[in-house]
Chain A
Protein backbone atom coordinates (compact mmCIF):
# COMPACT_ATOMS: atom_id res chain seq x y z
CA UNK A 1 0.00 0.00 0.00
CA UNK A 2 0.88 3.71 -0.08
CA UNK A 3 3.01 3.85 -3.24
CA UNK A 4 5.19 6.96 -3.46
CA UNK A 5 7.34 8.01 -6.41
CA UNK A 6 10.84 9.36 -5.98
CA UNK A 7 11.16 12.79 -7.64
CA UNK A 8 13.34 11.35 -10.41
CA UNK A 9 10.73 8.76 -11.24
CA UNK A 10 13.24 5.92 -10.84
CA UNK A 11 12.08 4.51 -7.57
CA UNK A 12 8.94 3.62 -5.73
CA UNK A 13 8.53 3.46 -2.00
CA UNK A 14 5.69 1.38 -0.60
CA UNK A 15 4.47 -0.51 2.44
CA UNK A 16 4.26 -4.29 2.38
CA UNK A 17 2.79 -6.74 4.85
CA UNK A 18 4.23 -9.80 3.17
CA UNK A 19 6.05 -10.82 6.35
CA UNK A 20 2.93 -10.32 8.48
CA UNK A 21 4.36 -7.05 9.71
CA UNK A 22 4.69 -3.65 8.09
CA UNK A 23 7.90 -2.90 6.16
CA UNK A 24 8.69 0.08 3.94
CA UNK A 25 10.56 -0.84 0.78
CA UNK A 26 12.18 1.33 -1.87
CA UNK A 27 12.22 -0.43 -5.19
CA UNK A 28 14.22 0.56 -8.23
CA UNK A 29 11.84 0.34 -11.16
CA UNK A 30 14.42 -0.42 -13.81
CA UNK A 31 16.22 -3.22 -11.99
CA UNK A 32 13.39 -4.42 -9.79
CA UNK A 33 15.76 -4.57 -6.87
CA UNK A 34 14.44 -3.35 -3.58
CA UNK A 35 15.69 -2.33 -0.22
CA UNK A 36 13.84 -2.56 3.09
CA UNK A 37 14.42 0.91 4.52
CA UNK A 38 12.19 0.71 7.56
CA UNK A 39 11.25 -2.39 9.52
CA UNK A 40 10.97 -1.20 13.09
CA UNK A 41 8.57 -2.90 15.47
CA UNK A 42 5.04 -1.63 14.92
CA UNK A 43 3.92 0.67 12.15
CA UNK A 44 6.22 1.48 9.26
CA UNK A 45 4.11 3.47 6.85
CA UNK A 46 3.15 6.48 4.78
CA UNK A 47 6.47 6.88 2.93
CA UNK A 48 6.98 10.20 1.11
CA UNK A 49 10.13 11.32 -0.71
CA UNK A 50 11.35 14.87 -0.13
CA UNK A 51 11.43 17.05 -3.28
CA UNK A 52 15.22 16.64 -3.48
CA UNK A 53 14.87 12.88 -3.21
CA UNK A 54 17.32 12.63 -0.33
CA UNK A 55 14.93 12.06 2.50
CA UNK A 56 11.88 9.96 3.20
CA UNK A 57 9.12 11.03 5.56
CA UNK A 58 7.72 8.02 7.41
CA UNK A 59 5.20 7.08 10.04
CA UNK A 60 6.62 4.87 12.80
CA UNK A 61 5.03 3.72 16.03
CA UNK A 62 8.32 2.45 17.45
CA UNK A 63 8.24 5.02 20.24
CA UNK A 64 4.76 4.01 21.36
CA UNK A 65 2.24 5.59 19.00
CA UNK A 66 2.22 6.68 15.33
CA UNK A 67 4.57 9.63 14.85
CA UNK A 68 6.24 11.26 11.87
CA UNK A 69 9.95 10.86 11.23
CA UNK A 70 12.32 11.83 8.45
CA UNK A 71 14.83 9.25 7.29
CA UNK A 72 18.00 10.49 5.62
CA UNK A 73 18.43 7.99 2.80
CA UNK A 74 22.19 8.35 2.65
CA UNK A 75 23.03 8.15 6.34
CA UNK A 76 19.92 6.22 7.43
CA UNK A 77 19.61 8.58 10.35
CA UNK A 78 16.12 9.15 11.70
CA UNK A 79 14.86 12.54 12.77
CA UNK A 80 11.68 12.68 14.82
CA UNK A 81 9.18 15.37 13.78
CA UNK A 82 6.06 14.92 15.93
CA UNK A 83 5.73 14.27 19.60
CA UNK A 84 2.13 13.72 20.54
CA UNK A 85 0.10 10.77 21.87
CA UNK A 86 -2.45 11.04 19.09
CA UNK A 87 -2.10 9.43 15.66
CA UNK A 88 0.24 11.51 13.46
CA UNK A 89 0.66 10.21 9.92
CA UNK A 90 0.55 10.90 6.16
CA UNK A 91 3.28 13.51 5.91
CA UNK A 92 3.27 15.45 2.61
CA UNK A 93 6.22 17.65 1.58
CA UNK A 94 5.73 21.18 0.34
CA UNK A 95 7.45 21.68 -3.04
CA UNK A 96 10.16 23.80 -1.42
CA UNK A 97 10.98 20.93 0.94
CA UNK A 98 10.69 23.13 4.01
CA UNK A 99 7.36 22.17 5.50
CA UNK A 100 5.34 19.03 6.05
CA UNK A 101 1.57 18.80 6.12
CA UNK A 102 0.28 15.76 7.96
CA UNK A 103 -2.86 14.19 9.40
CA UNK A 104 -3.21 14.24 13.17
CA UNK A 105 -5.89 13.22 15.64
CA UNK A 106 -4.46 15.53 18.31
CA UNK A 107 -7.46 17.84 18.21
CA UNK A 108 -9.90 14.99 18.79
CA UNK A 109 -10.54 14.03 15.17
CA UNK A 110 -8.34 13.65 12.06
CA UNK A 111 -7.34 17.07 10.75
CA UNK A 112 -4.50 18.52 8.69
CA UNK A 113 -1.59 20.27 10.38
CA UNK A 114 1.51 21.96 9.02
CA UNK A 115 4.95 22.03 10.59
CA UNK A 116 7.97 23.94 9.40
CA UNK A 117 11.08 21.73 9.56
CA UNK A 118 13.29 22.85 12.38
CA UNK A 119 10.40 24.15 14.42
CA UNK A 120 8.45 22.18 16.97
CA UNK A 121 5.00 23.71 16.79
CA UNK A 122 2.43 22.37 14.33
CA UNK A 123 -0.28 24.66 13.04
CA UNK A 124 -3.76 23.37 12.32
CA UNK A 125 -4.98 23.96 8.76
CA UNK A 126 -8.48 22.49 8.56
CA UNK A 127 -11.44 23.67 10.58
CA UNK A 128 -14.42 22.61 8.52
CA UNK A 129 -15.89 19.21 9.24
CA UNK A 130 -14.87 16.43 11.57
CA UNK A 131 -12.51 14.58 9.23
CA UNK A 132 -9.80 15.99 6.95
CA UNK A 133 -6.89 13.81 5.86
CA UNK A 134 -4.62 12.58 3.05
CA UNK A 135 -3.09 15.88 1.95
CA UNK A 136 -1.19 16.26 -1.34
CA UNK A 137 0.36 19.58 -2.43
CA UNK A 138 -0.18 21.25 -5.79
CA UNK A 139 3.14 21.92 -7.57
CA UNK A 140 2.97 25.64 -6.79
CA UNK A 141 2.69 24.87 -3.09
CA UNK A 142 -0.38 27.07 -2.68
CA UNK A 143 -3.06 24.42 -2.29
CA UNK A 144 -3.66 20.93 -1.03
CA UNK A 145 -5.91 18.18 -2.24
CA UNK A 146 -7.38 16.22 0.66
CA UNK A 147 -10.20 13.97 1.79
CA UNK A 148 -12.96 15.80 3.62
CA UNK A 149 -16.00 14.29 5.29
CA UNK A 150 -19.09 16.39 4.73
CA UNK A 151 -22.24 16.87 6.78
CA UNK A 152 -23.86 13.83 5.19
CA UNK A 153 -20.87 11.65 6.14
CA UNK A 154 -19.62 11.40 2.57
CA UNK A 155 -15.84 11.18 2.17
CA UNK A 156 -14.98 13.48 -0.74
CA UNK A 157 -11.98 15.03 -2.41
CA UNK A 158 -11.55 18.72 -1.66
CA UNK A 159 -9.01 21.47 -2.32
CA UNK A 160 -7.71 23.71 0.43
CA UNK A 161 -6.37 27.12 -0.60
CA UNK A 162 -3.56 27.59 1.91
CA UNK A 163 -3.37 31.34 1.61
CA UNK A 164 -7.04 32.03 2.08
CA UNK A 165 -7.95 28.99 4.14
CA UNK A 166 -10.85 28.16 1.82
CA UNK A 167 -12.01 24.59 1.31
CA UNK A 168 -13.80 23.55 -1.87
CA UNK A 169 -15.25 20.08 -2.42
CA UNK A 170 -14.42 18.56 -5.82
CA UNK A 171 -15.91 15.10 -5.91
CA UNK A 172 -19.32 13.67 -5.26
CA UNK A 173 -18.76 10.10 -4.13
CA UNK A 174 -19.49 8.48 -0.78
CA UNK A 175 -16.16 6.85 -0.09
CA UNK A 176 -13.55 8.74 -2.08
CA UNK A 177 -9.92 8.44 -1.00
CA UNK A 178 -6.23 8.76 -1.94
CA UNK A 179 -6.23 12.05 -3.85
CA UNK A 180 -3.10 12.66 -5.94
CA UNK A 181 -2.43 15.96 -7.72
CA UNK A 182 -1.14 15.76 -11.30
CA UNK A 183 2.35 17.16 -11.95
CA UNK A 184 0.86 19.98 -14.02
CA UNK A 185 -1.31 20.98 -11.09
CA UNK A 186 -4.57 20.99 -13.01
CA UNK A 187 -6.12 17.67 -12.10
CA UNK A 188 -6.57 15.42 -9.09
CA UNK A 189 -6.70 11.65 -9.45
CA UNK A 190 -8.44 9.69 -6.74
CA UNK A 191 -10.01 6.38 -5.87
CA UNK A 192 -13.75 6.06 -5.68
CA UNK A 193 -16.35 3.34 -5.66
CA UNK A 194 -18.68 2.41 -8.48
CA UNK A 195 -20.97 -0.62 -8.56
CA UNK A 196 -19.34 -2.00 -5.47
CA UNK A 197 -15.79 -1.95 -6.71
CA UNK A 198 -12.85 0.40 -6.55
CA UNK A 199 -12.31 2.58 -9.61
CA UNK A 200 -10.29 5.68 -10.38
CA UNK A 201 -11.67 9.09 -11.19
CA UNK A 202 -10.16 12.41 -12.04
CA UNK A 203 -11.37 15.91 -11.36
CA UNK A 204 -10.04 19.23 -12.47
CA UNK A 205 -8.69 21.32 -9.63
CA UNK A 206 -11.39 23.91 -10.10
CA UNK A 207 -14.04 21.24 -9.84
CA UNK A 208 -15.58 21.92 -13.23
CA UNK A 209 -14.68 18.69 -15.00
CA UNK A 210 -14.66 15.17 -13.70
CA UNK A 211 -14.58 11.72 -15.20
CA UNK A 212 -14.34 8.14 -14.21
CA UNK A 213 -11.51 6.15 -15.71
CA UNK A 214 -12.66 2.89 -17.19
CA UNK A 215 -10.84 -0.33 -16.48
CA UNK A 216 -12.16 -3.66 -17.54
CA UNK A 217 -12.25 -5.56 -14.32
CA UNK A 218 -10.86 -5.86 -10.84
CA UNK A 219 -10.32 -3.37 -8.09
CA UNK A 220 -8.15 -0.30 -8.43
CA UNK A 221 -6.86 1.68 -5.48
CA UNK A 222 -4.30 4.26 -4.46
CA UNK A 223 -3.35 6.03 -7.68
CA UNK A 224 -0.10 7.97 -7.69
CA UNK A 225 0.94 10.30 -10.50
CA UNK A 226 4.53 9.82 -11.53
CA UNK A 227 6.67 12.94 -11.74
CA UNK A 228 7.17 14.90 -14.96
CA UNK A 229 9.80 13.52 -17.26
CA UNK A 230 12.23 16.36 -17.60
CA UNK A 231 12.91 17.69 -21.07
Chain B
Protein backbone atom coordinates (compact mmCIF):
# COMPACT_ATOMS: atom_id res chain seq x y z
CA UNK B 1 0.00 0.00 0.00
CA UNK B 2 2.98 2.24 -0.54
CA UNK B 3 1.13 4.45 -2.99
CA UNK B 4 -1.08 5.60 -0.16
CA UNK B 5 1.76 6.85 1.94
CA UNK B 6 2.97 10.32 1.61
CA UNK B 7 6.30 10.27 3.22
CA UNK B 8 6.88 13.90 3.83
CA UNK B 9 10.26 14.50 5.29
CA UNK B 10 10.35 17.94 6.67
CA UNK B 11 13.93 18.98 6.71
CA UNK B 12 14.04 22.02 8.90
CA UNK B 13 17.14 23.87 7.92
CA UNK B 14 16.61 26.55 10.50
CA UNK B 15 13.27 28.18 9.84
CA UNK B 16 14.72 31.44 10.98
CA UNK B 17 18.28 32.46 10.72
CA UNK B 18 19.89 30.45 13.46
CA UNK B 19 23.06 28.55 13.27
CA UNK B 20 25.93 28.02 15.62
CA UNK B 21 26.69 31.70 15.63
CA UNK B 22 29.76 33.10 17.18
CA UNK B 23 28.90 35.27 20.13
CA UNK B 24 31.50 37.74 18.99
CA UNK B 25 28.94 39.18 16.62
CA UNK B 26 26.90 40.43 19.52
CA UNK B 27 29.49 42.83 20.85
CA UNK B 28 28.99 46.51 20.52
CA UNK B 29 31.93 48.83 20.59
CA UNK B 30 31.94 49.59 24.23
CA UNK B 31 31.26 46.28 25.89
CA UNK B 32 32.89 43.12 24.68
CA UNK B 33 31.04 39.89 25.30
CA UNK B 34 32.98 37.48 27.38
CA UNK B 35 32.62 33.89 26.32
CA UNK B 36 34.41 31.96 29.04
CA UNK B 37 32.42 30.44 31.85
CA UNK B 38 31.75 32.79 34.67
CA UNK B 39 34.12 31.31 37.20
CA UNK B 40 37.10 32.60 35.33
CA UNK B 41 35.83 36.15 35.13
CA UNK B 42 34.49 36.87 38.54
CA UNK B 43 37.74 36.89 40.42
CA UNK B 44 39.77 39.22 38.23
CA UNK B 45 40.74 42.81 38.83
CA UNK B 46 37.20 44.05 38.60
CA UNK B 47 36.15 42.26 41.74
CA UNK B 48 36.98 45.17 43.91
CA UNK B 49 34.87 47.51 41.80
CA UNK B 50 31.91 45.40 42.93
CA UNK B 51 28.65 47.13 43.59
CA UNK B 52 27.92 50.47 42.03
CA UNK B 53 31.48 51.57 41.41
CA UNK B 54 31.37 51.39 37.66
CA UNK B 55 29.85 54.80 37.40
CA UNK B 56 32.54 56.00 35.06
CA UNK B 57 31.01 56.99 31.78
CA UNK B 58 27.43 56.33 32.90
CA UNK B 59 25.15 59.00 31.55
CA UNK B 60 21.99 59.42 33.57
CA UNK B 61 18.73 58.53 31.90
CA UNK B 62 20.18 58.22 28.41
CA UNK B 63 19.56 55.31 26.13
CA UNK B 64 22.13 52.66 25.96
CA UNK B 65 25.53 54.07 25.12
CA UNK B 66 28.14 51.41 24.76
CA UNK B 67 30.47 53.12 27.20
CA UNK B 68 27.76 53.33 29.85
CA UNK B 69 28.02 49.60 30.27
CA UNK B 70 31.68 49.85 31.08
CA UNK B 71 34.67 48.51 29.26
CA UNK B 72 35.74 44.90 28.92
CA UNK B 73 36.89 44.89 32.54
CA UNK B 74 33.48 45.71 33.93
CA UNK B 75 31.24 42.96 35.31
CA UNK B 76 28.55 44.39 33.04
CA UNK B 77 30.49 43.11 30.08
CA UNK B 78 29.74 39.63 31.26
CA UNK B 79 26.42 38.75 29.71
CA UNK B 80 26.29 34.97 29.89
CA UNK B 81 25.44 32.79 32.86
CA UNK B 82 26.02 29.03 32.70
CA UNK B 83 24.08 26.20 34.26
CA UNK B 84 24.52 22.60 35.32
CA UNK B 85 22.77 19.81 33.43
CA UNK B 86 19.00 19.73 33.93
CA UNK B 87 19.37 22.60 36.41
CA UNK B 88 17.99 26.11 36.49
CA UNK B 89 19.89 27.23 39.59
CA UNK B 90 21.91 30.42 39.23
CA UNK B 91 25.48 29.70 40.30
CA UNK B 92 26.79 31.39 43.41
CA UNK B 93 29.71 32.81 41.44
CA UNK B 94 27.30 34.59 39.10
CA UNK B 95 25.50 36.59 41.74
CA UNK B 96 28.00 39.42 41.70
CA UNK B 97 27.69 39.82 37.96
CA UNK B 98 23.92 39.84 38.26
CA UNK B 99 24.13 42.43 41.01
CA UNK B 100 26.08 44.69 38.66
CA UNK B 101 23.40 44.32 36.00
CA UNK B 102 20.68 44.90 38.56
CA UNK B 103 22.40 48.05 39.67
CA UNK B 104 22.63 49.32 36.12
CA UNK B 105 19.00 48.55 35.40
CA UNK B 106 17.86 50.29 38.55
CA UNK B 107 19.90 53.38 37.73
CA UNK B 108 18.62 53.41 34.15
CA UNK B 109 14.89 52.81 34.41
CA UNK B 110 14.44 53.26 30.66
CA UNK B 111 16.80 50.43 29.83
CA UNK B 112 15.43 47.05 28.85
CA UNK B 113 16.90 43.55 28.82
CA UNK B 114 15.85 40.28 27.29
CA UNK B 115 17.02 37.15 29.07
CA UNK B 116 17.51 34.41 26.51
CA UNK B 117 17.38 30.90 27.99
CA UNK B 118 19.12 27.96 26.32
CA UNK B 119 19.76 24.25 26.86
CA UNK B 120 22.21 21.73 25.50
CA UNK B 121 21.15 19.43 22.68
CA UNK B 122 20.39 16.29 24.65
CA UNK B 123 16.86 14.94 24.76
CA UNK B 124 13.54 16.40 23.76
CA UNK B 125 13.54 19.72 21.90
CA UNK B 126 10.33 20.88 23.50
CA UNK B 127 11.39 19.87 26.98
CA UNK B 128 14.56 21.87 26.36
CA UNK B 129 12.41 24.90 25.51
CA UNK B 130 10.97 24.42 28.98
CA UNK B 131 14.43 24.16 30.53
CA UNK B 132 15.64 27.31 28.79
CA UNK B 133 12.55 29.09 30.08
CA UNK B 134 13.18 27.93 33.64
CA UNK B 135 16.72 29.26 33.47
CA UNK B 136 15.63 32.63 32.10
CA UNK B 137 12.91 32.86 34.75
CA UNK B 138 15.42 32.05 37.50
CA UNK B 139 17.68 34.89 36.39
CA UNK B 140 14.69 37.22 36.08
CA UNK B 141 13.52 36.38 39.60
CA UNK B 142 16.96 37.05 40.98
CA UNK B 143 17.18 40.43 39.25
CA UNK B 144 13.75 41.32 40.64
CA UNK B 145 14.85 40.22 44.08
CA UNK B 146 17.78 42.61 43.70
CA UNK B 147 15.31 45.43 43.06
CA UNK B 148 14.89 45.59 39.31
CA UNK B 149 11.47 46.57 37.97
CA UNK B 150 9.98 43.49 36.21
CA UNK B 151 8.78 45.76 33.39
CA UNK B 152 12.39 46.17 32.32
CA UNK B 153 12.89 42.43 31.81
CA UNK B 154 11.53 40.13 29.15
CA UNK B 155 12.42 36.49 28.60
CA UNK B 156 12.56 34.08 25.70
CA UNK B 157 13.63 30.44 25.55
CA UNK B 158 15.35 28.98 22.51
CA UNK B 159 15.84 25.56 24.07
CA UNK B 160 18.52 23.72 22.12
CA UNK B 161 17.77 25.60 18.90
CA UNK B 162 20.55 28.20 19.08
CA UNK B 163 23.71 26.56 20.37
CA UNK B 164 26.65 28.84 21.07
CA UNK B 165 29.13 26.07 20.41
CA UNK B 166 28.96 23.18 17.97
CA UNK B 167 29.95 19.79 19.31
CA UNK B 168 28.47 16.70 20.87
CA UNK B 169 30.32 16.39 24.14
CA UNK B 170 30.30 17.99 27.56
CA UNK B 171 32.78 20.70 26.61
CA UNK B 172 30.28 21.97 24.05
CA UNK B 173 27.17 21.20 26.09
CA UNK B 174 28.42 23.10 29.14
CA UNK B 175 28.77 26.25 27.01
CA UNK B 176 25.29 25.85 25.56
CA UNK B 177 23.45 25.58 28.89
CA UNK B 178 23.17 29.30 29.42
CA UNK B 179 21.18 32.48 29.81
CA UNK B 180 22.28 35.45 27.75
CA UNK B 181 21.57 38.97 28.95
CA UNK B 182 20.75 41.07 25.93
CA UNK B 183 20.21 44.80 26.33
CA UNK B 184 17.73 46.48 24.01
CA UNK B 185 19.42 48.49 21.32
CA UNK B 186 22.52 46.31 21.51
Contact = CB atoms under 8 A, between A and B. Distances in A.
Q: Do A and B belong to a common assembly? A: yes
Interface of A: 1-3, 5, 9, 12, 14, 16-18, 20-22, 41-43, 45-46, 59, 61, 65-66, 87, 89-90, 103, 105, 109-110, 131, 133-134, 147, 149, 155, 174-175, 177-178, 182-184, 189, 193, 196, 200, 213, 215, 218-229, 231
A21 B156 CA distance: 6
Given A66-B133, A228-B4, A222 B10 contact: yes
A175 B122 contact: yes
Given A2-B126, A17-B161, A43 B133 contact: yes
B41 interface: no
B6 A226 contact: yes
A177 B123 contact: yes
B40 interface: no
Given A183-B5, A184-B5, A222-B12, A87 B123 contact: no
Given A21-B156, A147-B124, A221 B11 contact: yes
A87 B16 contact: no
A42 B114 CA distance: 12
A16 B157 contact: no
21 contacts: A1-B12, A1-B15, A1-B161, A18-B15, A20-B114, A21-B156, A45-B126, A61-B133, A65-B137, A90-B124, A133-B123, A213-B9, A220-B11, A220-B12, A221-B12, A223-B9, A223-B10, A224-B10, A226-B6, A226-B7, A231-B4
Given A2-B125, A110-B124, A183-B5, 13 more contacts: A1-B161, A43-B129, A45-B126, A46-B129, A59-B129, A65-B137, A105-B130, A133-B123, A147-B123, A155-B122, A218-B11, A219-B13, A226-B6
A225 B15 contact: no
Given A43-B133, A196-B168, A226-B8, A16 B16 contact: yes
Contacts, number: 130
B130 A89 contact: yes
B15 A16 contact: yes
Interface in B8-49: 8-13, 15-16, 18
A218 B13 CA distance: 8
A interface secondary structure, majority: loop
Contacts of B155: 42
A66 B8 contact: no
Interface in B101-135: 114, 121-127, 129-131, 133-134
Contacts of B13: 218-219
A104 to B, nearest CB: 9
B126 to A, nearest CB: 4
A228 B130 contact: no
Most buried by A among B10, B131, B155: B10
B83 interface: no
A182 B122 CA distance: 24
A166 B133 CA distance: 33
B94 to A, nearest CB: 22
B123 A110 contact: yes
A41 B133 CA distance: 12
A226 B122 CA distance: 26
A157 B93 CA distance: 38
A122 to B, nearest CB: 16
Most buried by A among B5, B6, B18, B130: B130
A153 to B, nearest CB: 8
